[in-house]
Chain A
Amino acid sequence: MIEVKNVEKSFGESKVLKGISATFDAGKTNLIIGQSGSGKTVLLKSLLGIFTPDVGTISFDGRIYSELSADEKRALRTEIGMVFQGSALFDSMTVEENIGFPLKMFTTKSPEEIRERVNTVIDRVNLVNANHKKPSEISGGMQKRVAIARAIVNNPRYLFCDEPNSGLDPKTAIVIDNLIHEITVEYNITTVVNTHDMNSVMEIGDKIIFLKNGILAWEGSKKDIFKTDNEAIVDFVYSSNLFKKIRKAQNKEE
């Protein structure tokens, strides 16, 4: 479980996070949603330790990040898997080398053991005939699968995904969303997904926190979204006509 307590972060005069407190549960897909500029990425990067909060604490199963020594922070980071928006695969490496990279860097596994583990996760994310290709030679959807495989290869306790289905067609986006959700449940990982895609919210949102102007404006599950009267989330979710119709239909059923 990741616990965020009263986190604030400013850049110059601009206060981006204004006292966020939230918990992200293990074995669940926790979604951070909100409009562009609401502070989602800053919160995610604060969770990852890329940004240091000005105020507040972030703890990983009781370990307060800001109180850890450099070595402890480094050790904690080996428990983290991250899927970047643009996949962030290493251009100079093949798919197999990309996925095996964390094992090569942080474990004492032999090349055979690494290859075996890499092939296991390659099978898990359904990557076919891509082992020896470079990232530039595969499609966007496959790159996302490689990024997910790289993120989970070292059995992480925490998985972070920044806009994992951006730039993908709707069908592939759903496949990627479901893959993240399945892996979260299967390995009991604390997964935090940063998204503004309402399809993802409806597919995999076990727990959702909604940010507006740096404030946690709402939290709940995907089911709660249709019942809530919170103006901020209603305004965000029902900016799409499709969801307006779904809400109307659901309200009628009830």
Chain B
Amino acid sequence: MRGLIFKEIDDLVIDSLGIVAFISFFVGGVVSIQTALNLTNPLIPKYLIGFATRQSVILEFAPTFISIIMAGKMGSFITSSIGTMRVTEQIDALEVMGVNSLNYLVFPKIIALLLYPFVIGIAMFLGVLGGWMAGVYGGFTASNEFIQGIQTEFIPFHITYAFIKTVVFAMILATIPSFHGYYMKGGALEVGKASTVSFVWTSVVIILVNYILTQLLLTN
């Protein structure tokens, strides 16, 4: 089981780091530029660029939108790999041998995705870093102003809120695609369809749960 968990960590977590880093860095940069371009009133301080980038990245972009992207990447991988095992009778082979196939296939994924907050933490850092680089090197703000914005009205609970969401999204990312792969019927074409359906449902559930958690955790 330990070997399986390490394999899942490699397939699901480590293999996602590249795309997460790339997207986070550049989206952080775009958020920073967009904010700067919309601050046309000279009375509005420039440090708001850093503030808006931090809030956007930490509260929504990193936990929620990266999770939706991961529903496409990790989710499709999970559904198609389990679905292919179903189609090629590998799951039947496990059952006939007396292996609890659901436990064997899904449990390591759930454990591996306990490291998902680590991915989102990197996304948060790189998003803000991308915002800083785009803001400073694009000539939209000074470095000290951006850093002042990052520090302004910082509420530590926002980080807690983001990571609570992340843990819940990790469970959604592990279970919904596994369900669609495990219980699929048919052949190769159905594996593709199951991956698409799994992506749609995972995204919908993430968006709904995001709304509910925000309502529960951030409103008085």
Contacts and interface: CB of A to CB of B under 8 A. Distances in A.
A90 B98 contact: no
Given A84-B89, A85-B89, A86-B89, A91 B84 contact: yes
Interface stretch (A71-79, A169-177, A181-189): A71-79
A73 B95 CA distance: 11
Nearest to B100: A74
Contacts of A74: 98
Contact of A82 (B7, B93, B99): B93
B13 to A, nearest CB: 17
Given A75-B98, A78-B98, A105-B99, A88 B93 contact: yes
Contacts of A84: 89, 92-93
Contact of B90 (A76, A85, A88, A160): A88
B97 interface: yes
A106 B96 contact: no
B97 A77 contact: yes
Contacts of A91: 84-85, 88, 90
Given A85-B89, A88-B88, A50 B95 contact: yes
A80 B96 contact: yes
A85 B93 CA distance: 11
A24 B93 CA distance: 22
A102 interface: yes
A78 B97 contact: yes
B190 to A, nearest CB: 16
Nearest to A154: B97
Interface in A35-85: 48-50, 73-78, 80, 82, 84-85
B92 A90 contact: no
Question: Chain B: interface residue count, which band?
Answer: 10 to 19
Interface string B79-106: 0000011001110110111110000000
Contacts of A78: 97-98
B89 A50 contact: no
Contacts of A75: 98
A88 B91 CA distance: 8
Contacts of A50: 92, 95-96
Nearest to A83: B93
B96 A77 contact: yes
B98 to A, nearest CB: 3
A106 B98 contact: yes
A92 B81 CA distance: 10
A50 B7 CA distance: 29
Contacts of A92: 7
Contact of B98 (A77, A85, A160): A77
Contacts of A89: 90
Contact of A88 (B7, B92, B98): B92
A85 B88 CA distance: 9
Contacts of A105: 97-99
B89 A102 contact: no
Contacts of A76: 98
Contacts of A160: 96
Interface string B55-99: 000000000000000000000000000001100111011011111
A77 B98 CA distance: 5
Contact of B96 (A82, A85, A101): A82
Contact of B88 (A80, A82, A86, A102): A86
The 4 closest A-B pairs by CB, nearest first: A77-B98, A88-B89, A88-B93, A82-B96
Given A78-B97, A88-B93, A92-B7, 18 more contacts: A49-B96, A74-B98, A75-B98, A76-B98, A77-B96, A80-B97, A82-B97, A84-B89, A84-B93, A85-B89, A86-B88, A88-B88, A88-B89, A90-B85, A101-B97, A105-B97, A105-B98, A160-B96
Interface of B: 7, 84-85, 88-90, 92-93, 95-99
Interface of A: 48-50, 73-78, 80, 82, 84-86, 88-92, 101-102, 105-106, 160
23 contacts: A49-B96, A50-B92, A50-B96, A75-B98, A77-B96, A77-B97, A80-B96, A80-B97, A80-B98, A82-B96, A84-B92, A84-B93, A85-B89, A86-B88, A88-B89, A88-B90, A88-B93, A90-B93, A101-B97, A105-B97, A105-B99, A106-B97, A106-B98
